[in-house]
Amino acid sequence: MTHGEVMAMVAEIGLPYAYHHFAEGESPEPPFLVFLYPGADNFSADGIVYFRINRLHIELYTDLKNPDLEESIEAVLLKYGIFYGKSETWIESEKLYEVLYGMEV
């Protein structure tokens, strides 16, 4: 997926979002999304990158656990044929849940 296609997919989720982070003081009220490319796992052949594979993280931040919202995000990912992993953590300092969707695009 290109960056433009990723942005279109994230926009389709219908929540406020930003690449990597929101500017200081401009974070919207939860729920919101942040997405980033934390690395790559490219496939090589003959000493060159034969096929680019970027890792993509989509992070959902909520102040309350929201399984319905998670299901709607997962429906968008499945619509785009994305295989994803999922984890969750509580960020005590922010008083927010983070649900992390990890995938390759």
Q: What's 50's domain CATH number?
A: 3.30.2000.30
Contacts of 100 (CB under 8 A, 6+ apart): 57, 58, 59, 60, 86, 87, 88, 89
**pTM of the full predicted structure?**
0.91
List pLDDT tens digits, range 76-91. 999 999 999 999 999 9
Residue 76 belongs to domain spanning = 3-104
Please give the residue that has the higher pLDDT: either 45 or 85: 85
Q: Where are the beta strands (DSSP E) in 1-95?
A: 17-19, 32-40, 43-45, 48-51, 54-62, 84-91
Mean pLDDT within 31-46 = 92
Mean pLDDT within 62-82 = 97
pLDDT of 41 strictly over 90: no
Number of domains composing the chain:
1
